[in-house]
Structure 1
Amino acid sequence: MDERKSGQLNHLDLWIRWKEHDDIEAKKKLIENHLSIVDYVSSRLAVGLPKNVSKDDLASNGVMGLIDAIEKFDYKRGLQFETYASWRVRGAILDGLRQGDWVPRSVREKAKKIEEAYQKLEQENMRGASDKEMSEFLGVSEKEFHQMLQDVSVMSLVSLEDPIREEESETRISVLVDEKAKNPDHKVNEFYLKEALAKGIEKLTDKERIVVSLLYYEDLSLSEIAEVMSLSPSRISQLHSKAILRLRGALDKQKGLLMQDH
């Protein structure tokens, strides 16, 4: 028997021992075997975060997400644990960042101002707003506008993970990438949100679309995307911020319409 197949069998044996017999040692072994997921996810999320956010803090929150994944995972369904755990770990890290209130109020206000400007200009002009139009609307130079985008880039990392409504667990990113987790109660809302998101994506520039695609569909980090596109990491960060703020505006507008209907 080859080593890989033997490893898979041992892996299954650990799941059986943990899930069927509450074997704590098997659970500990599963955690140890998958700590690399925490390191992988936390390292990627660390790119572009402020220096006051330590990687150790990200990792400790990630470990809590991994433990949660191991406790909730149903090995009998034949799903890939690594994929499931990655989302749980990512979610736990982002929750930790939110609870830590690591984004200053001034940055939140700046992001809201840019988001609202995109929403207003794109609604008026029925097309994507240029950097020049945005800077004129905000009363700043294009250089200052680019700096504003850089300042809010730390927020854009978690902005698509925010709940669509405060009382719901469904997030913007789940609408964007999760095709399997269908909730029948939200199908109508989901249809309109996806339609709004598709229209928002249409208004993105080619470069912004590529960044969103590589980040959320191909799972590349911002530094890897910079290498692929032959641009500086700060430029990629700006493109990402612009894309996310445009998409947030599109989804927030649709969210407002949905809430009016209820």
Structure 2
Amino acid sequence: MIEPKTPHLSNIEMWRKWKEDRDIEAKKQLIEQYLPLVEYVTNRMAIGLPKNVSKDDLASNGVMGLIDAVEKFDYRRGLQFETYASWRIRGAMIDGLRQGDWVPRSIREKAKKIEDAYQQLEHKYLRSVSDAEMSTYLNVSEKDFVQMLQDIAVTTVCSLEDPIREEESETRLSLLVDEKAKNPDHKAHEFYMKETLVKGIERLTEKERIVISLFYYEELSLSEIAEVMSLSPSRISQLHSKAILRLRGALAKHKNQLMEH
């Protein structure tokens, strides 16, 4: 991850001056210090998005997310601001994309169809299902199924950064990295969500697991992953899409079970 600019004051002192003294100059310094995060997230988010999506627009929304993060961050909890801010920056970018309605309805419907198919088949067989099984279930050829994955690749780039529920700010990915408990009910819900994600990841193929690990944990770009794995960027994009849709299906099943109880 890109290192923030060196602050004029110590980090803790800057946060204290902003949060406790409401020193506007300290706030400006914090925003300036962490601006490289916006560029970093912009470059990652731009991968796989349509050419009509401007990086400048992404960055503008990202700056608003950074400002929001500086406003809301509690430095006394001992959490890493970079992680918190990255989620806020991504969230602001995703909100901007949604408002722009950059994905046609037909593509969204196609993605939902594949997600539902993964959910139904993998719940039935309790294992990772093959492209052939998916093609049969969807009544399309394997070639057409691969093309469908390519068509919907742009809808899966931000998937693990999406809120678990529309009204919540917590993301699916945050469940895997944030160990802070909010309350007993929340902790129990979080535990079962983590279990669902872990089981979902276990059912991914080896290549899909590698792609998810390199993209979300090692923070490589899809093109860098293609180089590491000696595969084409389009193939990496397909593996990423399949992995995300499998995980979405598992999480959707979990959410439905929660609503039934």
TM over 0.5: yes
CA change 1:23–1:36 in 2 (3 A) is same
Aligned to 1:171: 171
Q: Distance in 1 between matches of 2:170 and 2:83?
A: 18
Aligned to 1:83: 83
Aligned to 1:204: 204
Deviations 1:32-53 (A, max 9, x none): 2221110011111101111111
Superposed, 1:1-262 pairs within 5 Å as: 7=7, 9-261=9-261
Q: Distance in 1 between matches of 2:143 and 2:219?
A: 30
CA change 1:188–1:107 in 2 (3 A) is same
Aligned length: 256
* Higher fraction of helix: 1
- Does the 8 A contact of 1:223 with 1:233 survive in 2? yes
Q: Secondary structure at the match of 1:48?
A: coil
TM-score normalized by the length of structure 1 = 0.88
Deviations 1:167-202 (A, max 9, x none): 433332222333335442223322322222222212
Q: Which runs of 5+ in 2 are unaligned?
A: 1-5
CA change 1:7–1:63 in 2 (3 A) is closer
Q: Secondary structure at the match of 1:21?
A: coil
Deviations 1:18-44 (A, max 9, x none): 333323233223222221110011111
Larger deviation: 214-223 or 250-259? Answer: 214-223
- Does the 8 A contact of 1:177 with 1:216 survive in 2? no
Q: Distance in 1 between matches of 2:202 and 2:55?
A: 35
CA change 1:256–1:28 in 2 (3 A) is same
CA change 1:107–1:42 in 2 (3 A) is same
Q: Give, as a single letter, the amino acid of the residue that structure 2 aligns with 1:224.
A: E
- Does the 8 A contact of 2:41 with 2:89 survive in 1? yes
* Percent of residue pairs bearing the same amino acid type: 74
Q: Give, as a single letter, the amino acid of the residue that structure 1 aligns with 2:224.
A: E
Q: Distance in 2 between matches of 1:196 and 1:184?
A: 18
Q: Give, as a single letter, the amino acid of the residue that structure 1 aligns with 2:113.
A: K
Aligned to 1:3: none
Q: Distance in 1 between matches of 2:78 and 2:243?
A: 36
Q: CA RMSD in A?
A: 2.1
Q: Distance in 2 between matches of 1:126 and 1:79?
A: 37
Computing the radius of gyration over CA atoms, which structure comes out larger, 1 or 2?
1
Q: Give, as a single letter, the amino acid of the residue that structure 2 aligns with 1:22.
A: R
1:165 Cα deviation (Å)?
3.2
Q: Distance in 2 between matches of 1:126 and 1:72?
A: 41
